[in-house]
Amino acid sequence: MAQFLHIRVEDLDLLLPALQVHEVISLESDARPSDAHALWRDQVLASWDLGQVLQRCSAPQSRAYGVVYSLNETDALPVLMLIDEVLGLRKPKADQLHRLPGAKTVAHQWFDALWVDSALGFKAYCVRNTLQSGYLLAQESAALDTPAEVTATRKSA
């Protein structure tokens, strides 16, 4: 089974394919990205507040961490996604992965499944292994189910 990096931004947990994560960076106040760009290993990367991209906040926030992440398996530069927490590496079991609930939305093109681990009390969206190159650059955002809606959907499944 694949390994994922479990992250949190605002009230949303996500699983990123671990093989597409280059580095997790603690963001000191003097090293915070500005103007949607960041310097990483002598390369200028696009920098995005993931909470804002996913419509969890209306303006960029001061985040504690940055994840240098490749959107796909090409040689394109990765992006720096600003997040709140890193919760560890996870290896979801097949019976813990569920199809996304509801009708197709823009969120369905970004996420493969919903991971639910009742023993740990976690649920998280699984980010697709290969995202379209315009994932963050198009400045589209996705409104995701609120935790209450996800819980209600999970109980009815």
Q: Sheet with 122-127: list strands edge to edge.
A: 85-90, 4-9, 12-17, 122-127, 111-117, 97-98
- Confidence check: pLDDT of 136 > 50: no
pLDDT, average across residues 97-122 = 77
pLDDT digits 0-9 by tens, 40-85: 999 999 888 888 888 888 777 788 999 999 877 778 889 999 999 9
Task: Identify the H or E element spanning 147.
Answer: helix 147-156
> What confidence category does residue 134 fall into, taking pLDDT thresholds of 50, 70 and 90?
very low
Question: What residues make up the domain containing 107?
Answer: 4-156
Q: How far apart are CA 47 and CA 36, in angstroms?
A: 5
- Confidence check: pLDDT of 107 > 50: yes
Instruction: Report CA 61 to chain centroid distance, whole Å.
Output: 16
Q: How many domains does the chain have?
A: 1
> To which residue do tokens 């959107």 refer?
71
